[in-house]
Structure 1
Amino acid sequence: MDEREVLPVGEDTGTPDEIDEDYQDAVLPGARWERRRFVRCDFAEADLRGLVTQGCVFDDCDFTRTDLGESRHTASAFRSCRFDRTVLTDTTWNGCSLLGSSFSDCRLRPISLRDCDLSLVSFGNAMLKGSDLSGLRLREANLTDANLSKTNLRGADLTGARLIGTILADADLREAVLDANGLRQADLAGAHVDVDTAVAYAAACGLIVH
């Protein structure tokens, strides 16, 4: 499909849904999937290295121990999916939604995310050090105990994100949106912030700025 014809994320693909299909241990490296929809499918331990998806939808699918390394995804939605010990190194995500998906003990670096919606995503304890998450929507994401040191979060929307124990040393938070709870929870020591965030942080901590 021509890139100019990419569907908006989550739009009806126009093809029959694949529901409760078993792809466990499937060997499909380099597969190309366009405008396909998967519901509650099991991809556990499948070899999907180099997979290319465009305009696909995955709802409540299981990617436990799946190899998705070097895969590329454009305008695809992975909603409420489980990524447990999944290989995601060298993956590229453009204009994708990962709404409500959970990532546990995954190999994430390096990873490229552009214009993606990561609202309600769980990245608890994730190693994302040095990643570029600039401009991403991370509303109500669980980033508890995640390592985001040296991460580019410039312009990211972190409204409602859980930041307890999150490591943000040397992270770029300029123009990022954080609410009062996030500012109180986060350890911002060594983080790069703009004046507005500094003032908001002071107010969240009960300081009076003159």
Structure 2
Amino acid sequence: MSYHSNLNFHNVNSENFQPGEYEGCSFSQCNFAGMNLQGFSFEDCSFTNCDLSNCKVPGVSFRGVTFESCKMLGIHFQSCNPFLIEFTFKNCQLDYCGFYNLQLKKTVFSSCRMLEADFTMANLTASSFVGSELSGAVFDQTVLEKADFREAQNYRIDPELNRIKGARFDLDGLPGLLGKYGIKIG
């Protein structure tokens, strides 16, 4: 397997992107949409303004990886290598992504759009969803203790099905917590 360290990749697409280990690399304006990333490993890498929509990620390692202003629709992250998995997402589109049963403590999802993302059984302790759009996102048996949902919009979280002790919410978010009870607020 090839090894790449501290390189900058700009405007690369799936045709000229080879499997291997990438450490400390940055990717900008790259188009990997629909690519099968099996055989890739990313450590301390950053992706900026990239399109990774519908990428296949079976066994892919993501350690200390930052995604900023990326389009990442329909990625099933639950199939990647869960060992030492660590992401940061800022201003990304993560619609229809799956994070089923992943250990994602302290993960940052800052100002992301995450329509119908699946967080079923994930551990998101102390994660941040500040400023994110969460319409249709699924939280079922999810650990959200100490998670931050301030300024997040349109989430529906059932306190009886999820662990939310110590989580932070705005007053505007109360309908997303109490909706199933038919309570009117305000």
State the TM-score, normalized to the length of structure 2: 0.84
Asked if the contact 1:42/1:61 (under 8 Å) is kept, the reply is no
Matched, 1:187 2:162: yes
Cα distance in structure 2, aligned partners of 1:65 and 1:91:
16
Asked if the contact 1:42/1:63 (under 8 Å) is kept, the reply is no
Deviation digits for residues 14-51 of structure 1, max 9, x if unmatched?
xxxxxxxxxxx343344432112216x873xx222233
Q: 1:208 and 1:59, CA in 2 relative to 1: closer, same or farther beyond 3 A?
A: closer
**1:189 partner letter:** I
Q: 1:200 and 1:141, CA in 2 relative to 1: closer, same or farther beyond 3 A?
A: closer
Asked if the contact 1:183/1:204 (under 8 Å) is kept, the reply is no
Cα distance in structure 2, aligned partners of 1:100 and 1:130:
22
Instruction: Give percent identity, aligned residues only.
Output: 22
Q: 1:51 and 1:146, CA in 2 relative to 1: closer, same or farther beyond 3 A?
A: same
State the TM-score, normalized to the length of structure 1: 0.75
RMSD between superposed Cα atoms in Å: 2.5
Q: 1:196 and 1:61, CA in 2 relative to 1: closer, same or farther beyond 3 A?
A: same
**Shift of residue 142, structure 1, vs aligned partner:** 1.3
Asked if the contact 2:12/2:31 (under 8 Å) is kept, the reply is yes
Which structure 1 residue ranges, 5 or more long, are not aligned? 1-24
**1:155 partner letter:** G
Bigger radius of gyration: 1
**2:85 partner letter:** L
Matched with 1:79 is 53
**Shift of residue 69, structure 1, vs aligned partner:** 0.6
Deviation digits for residues 40-63 of structure 1, max 9, x if unmatched?
x873xx222233211110122222
- 1:202 aligned counterpart, secondary structure: helix
Matched with 1:33 is 9
Cα distance in structure 2, aligned partners of 1:198 and 1:101:
29
Asked if the contact 2:100/2:122 (under 8 Å) is kept, the reply is yes
- 1:167 aligned counterpart, secondary structure: coil
Matched, 1:96 2:70: yes
Task: Report which stretch shifted further, 25-34 or 83-92.
Answer: 25-34
Matched with 1:118 is 94
Deviation digits for residues 100-123 of structure 1, max 9, x if unmatched?
1121243422x3322111111111
Matched with 1:47 is 21
Matched with 1:152 is 128
**Shift of residue 147, structure 1, vs aligned partner:** 0.9
Q: Which runs of 4+ in 1 moved over 4 A?
A: none
Cα distance in structure 1, aligned partners of 2:118 and 2:169:
21
**Shift of residue 199, structure 1, vs aligned partner:** 3.7
Matched with 1:196 is 172
